[in-house]
Structure 1
Amino acid sequence: MLNSAKNMLAYPNLGEGGYMGGSVLQDSKTGHWYIQLRWNNETERFYRFEYHGVWFPFASKAQANKIRSLMQDEIDNGSFSPASYRPNSPLGIGKYVDIWLPLTDVVKNTRGRYKSFAKHFVEFFGIDKDIRKISKVNILELKKSLEESEYSKKTIYHILNTLKTMLNFAVDNRDMKELPSFPKLSNPIKGNIEYLGIEIQQKIFNEIPERHRPIFELAAEYGRRPQEVRALMKDAVTDTHIIIMRRFSEYELLEGDKTGKVKAFFKTEEAKRILKSTAPSFSEFVFTHNGKSPYDGKILNNLWREACNKVGVKIKMYNGLRHSKAGQLLDAEYPIELVSELLGHTKIQMTRDMYGRVSEARITEALENVRILPFKKEVKHGDH
């Protein structure tokens, strides 16, 4: 290990620094070099440095002086923390993930996804990589490594976006001064999203037991997320409106839709029919699977899969309900702005990215039709 450290004396440019506080000393017994300085009236000693998640002893006085120069720069700009120059630093990326995750203001499912994606960049950088020393080059190296490991574009997007979200938190919390430059991050166009036409969708609904059918039909009618319709309570249904004001995250009831907003819809004639067909209950929820309790995701997914199997179709429930509403409207040539508003997307670009290719066939059809329009030849004098 010591030889490896000697060989790395020339790597990264650690800077020259200005006025040097503290000193570099050599242990008379072991011969090891270390940095000693006074900080907050305490004597601090540092025997190792971190490189790519691995801690090495100083191979020479010159190498220790380079690290001391880095420390001096941080002392000068007010960002120095002795803990960051030791293993298990709270600013090490592994430890920081553990600190950050419980403080994120997101639902349980999203926090679980953050944790899953964070494992990838912690593994790449090593648990002791100081978050303040993550550079644009480091991020590009991470991206390249993920691409070479053949992760999907969508997964790479989520891993990098999770890292960016965490580092933004660190900046807001003044744990680091500025966010490193990230490559442009955009959620890959899903393109060719699977969705159902109205006829096939209705065949699937017909295979769902009548007692359970209304919750699926209402979700499809308004293009709502299943967890929002599961959470629909009787106080959110008026004579004229259906109000999406709650959602489930697994079994936890939360306020607002997925974006935290409240959305009201006029009752369509179809919605009135669906609600009228709902089995009566004393529950505060509109839809119950047993007359008492609201549906959970597992029950709905099982009902959906069984119905799809009977029809001979394989499609996720989310696609069969929410995505299908978007696809059906676009096929009927409604503008994408209307679809975006219905689905409650915060930006219309999100709708374009998700459903932009759904109507490509119709665009192609329109272009082809232009070619076969009747062509009237202009007759000029002298033509025969």
Structure 2
Amino acid sequence: MEDEIYAFRKELQTLGYCKTVINNYPKYVCHFLVFAQETVPKINDIHIKSYQKHLQQKPSRTKGKTLSESHVHSQLLAIKMCFGYLERTHKINTNPFTLKLKSPKNEVKNILTQEQIQTLYNHCQIQEQKMILHLCYGCGLRRSEAVSLNKNDINIEKKLLFIRNGKGKKRRVIPINEVITTDFKIFLESKINTEEISFLTNKQNNRMSGNTMYSFFKELLKKTGIKNVSLHHLRHSIATHLLENDMSIEMVRDFLGHSQLSTTQIYTQINNLKMK
């Protein structure tokens, strides 16, 4: 089955899925096969339903509670996509996946207030922490977009930041304000003698990984006492704040790089915001 899993991973890459999906979905399928203890041609809907029940009861390693609805959905979706791929490429005759997956409730939690955002900025002790806030909050970038950002993706003169390969291989241009532009300029000047093209780098002056980026952010959270917040919550927060300050939902959609307006509309449910 290793060849089929590898081929499935290549299929996800070809279709333009983000690195998280490309790396995790094949692993989720492998976890299922280990659970089922059966060869792929003999897998049936009973195995899949049993695994769904197992996931819904499985405790989370980090939170101590059961796995989140969204995480269970992601694992089952990975299995569904893989069996769909195997059927399409004639590796199996029929697709055993019969579950009707419902997307988890669109719910945005842990939105930071503008005062909390300012507290985070006030506690930055190194440049990297401030750059992470600028990228994920000020520019609304996803973590994968931030770590993929290169120095030449920022045009200081025109005050623009270019995302050249966002989610779904989408490109977008983000205007940056005067404060962020000035800080970016200072940060870039501090790295003018380095050959590394990445904007964010680690201690070895190589491209910073997503885990290292999150570690910098966690250190900042400890200093402020703010809890239960991830880097993605910064993106949720800037979307909410922009809508609160009367930016149109279409403009926020373009700012975040959403494909569908319905995705952006999640944020209009927060603080009883009215649809624009």
- Matched letter for residue 347 of structure 1: Q
Of 161, 175, 178, 1:269 maps to: 178
Of 123, 131, 135, 1:207 maps to: 123
| Distance in structure 1 (CA, Å) of the matches to 2:29 and 2:231 | 26
**1:100 is the counterpart of 2:4:** yes
- Matched letter for residue 33 of structure 2: V
Q: Which residue of 1 aligns with 2:225?
A: 312
| Distance in structure 1 (CA, Å) of the matches to 2:199 and 2:86 | 43
SS in 1 for 2:270: coil
Kindly indicate whether the alpha-carbon contact (under 8 Å) linking 1:330 and 1:358 is maintained by their aligned counterparts in 2: no
Q: Which residue of 1 aligns with 2:72?
A: 156
- Matched letter for residue 99 of structure 1: D
| Distance in structure 2 (CA, Å) of the matches to 1:348 and 1:191 | 16
Deviations 1:353-373 (A, max 9, x none): 5x464244x46xxxxxxxxxx
Q: Which residue of 2 aligns with 1:258?
A: 167
Kindly indicate whether the alpha-carbon contact (under 8 Å) linking 1:101 and 1:111 is maintained by their aligned counterparts in 2: no
| Distance in structure 2 (CA, Å) of the matches to 1:195 and 1:258 | 22
Matches within 5 A, 1:75-114: 95=1, 98-103=2-7, 104-105=9-10, 106=13, 109-114=20-25
- Matched letter for residue 163 of structure 2: I
Q: Given the superposition, is the C-alpha separation of residues 142 and 310 from structure 1 closer, same or farther in structure 2, using an over 3 Å criterion?
A: closer
Q: TM-score, normalised by structure 1?
A: 0.56
- Please state how far the C-alpha of 1:318 moved relative to its aligned partner: 1.3
Q: Given the superposition, is the C-alpha separation of residues 152 and 296 from structure 1 closer, same or farther in structure 2, using an over 3 Å criterion?
A: closer
**1:134 is the counterpart of 2:44:** yes
**1:321 is the counterpart of 2:237:** no
What is the aligned-residue RMSD (CA, Å)? 3.1
Kindly indicate whether the alpha-carbon contact (under 8 Å) linking 1:236 and 1:244 is maintained by their aligned counterparts in 2: yes
SS in 1 for 2:112: coil
- Matched letter for residue 256 of structure 2: L
Kindly indicate whether the alpha-carbon contact (under 8 Å) linking 2:140 and 2:239 is maintained by their aligned counterparts in 1: yes
- Please state how far the C-alpha of 1:201 moved relative to its aligned partner: 0.8
Q: Given the superposition, is the C-alpha separation of residues 274 and 184 from structure 1 closer, same or farther in structure 2, using an over 3 Å criterion?
A: farther
Of 127, 145, 150, 1:228 maps to: 145
- Matched letter for residue 196 of structure 1: L
Q: Which residue of 1 aligns with 2:134?
A: 217
| Distance in structure 2 (CA, Å) of the matches to 1:211 and 1:156 | 37
Of 230, 236, 259, 1:346 maps to: 259
Matches within 5 A, 1:282-293: 282-283=193-194, 284-288=197-201, 292-293=205-206
SS in 1 for 2:33: helix
Matches within 5 A, 1:162-201: 162-180=78-96, 182-201=98-117
Note the residue ranges of structure 1 that are not aligned, 5 or more in a row.
1-94, 246-255, 364-384
- Matched letter for residue 157 of structure 1: H
- Matched letter for residue 236 of structure 1: D
Deviations 1:32-85 (A, max 9, x none): xxxxxxxxxxxxxxxxxxxxxxxxxxxxxxxxxxxxxxxxxxxxxxxxxxxxxx
| Distance in structure 1 (CA, Å) of the matches to 2:168 and 2:163 | 11
| Distance in structure 1 (CA, Å) of the matches to 2:57 and 2:201 | 48
Bigger fraction of residues in strand: 1
SS in 1 for 2:232: helix
Kindly indicate whether the alpha-carbon contact (under 8 Å) linking 2:174 and 2:255 is maintained by their aligned counterparts in 1: no
Kindly indicate whether the alpha-carbon contact (under 8 Å) linking 1:195 and 1:319 is maintained by their aligned counterparts in 2: no
Task: Count residues with an aligned counterpart.
Answer: 253
- Please state how far the C-alpha of 1:173 moved relative to its aligned partner: 0.9
Compare 168-177 and 106-115 and name the one that shifted more. Answer: 106-115
SS in 1 for 2:173: strand
Q: TM-score, normalised by structure 2?
A: 0.75
| Distance in structure 2 (CA, Å) of the matches to 1:307 and 1:151 | 27
Deviations 1:253-290 (A, max 9, x none): xxx22322222223433432232332522333334455
Of 227, 243, 246, 2:162 maps to: 243
| Distance in structure 2 (CA, Å) of the matches to 1:146 and 1:214 | 37
Q: Which residue of 1 aligns with 2:61?
A: none
Deviations 1:128-166 (A, max 9, x none): 2526x635x664555455446665422331222111111
- Please state how far the C-alpha of 1:338 moved relative to its aligned partner: 3.1
| Distance in structure 2 (CA, Å) of the matches to 1:184 and 1:171 | 18
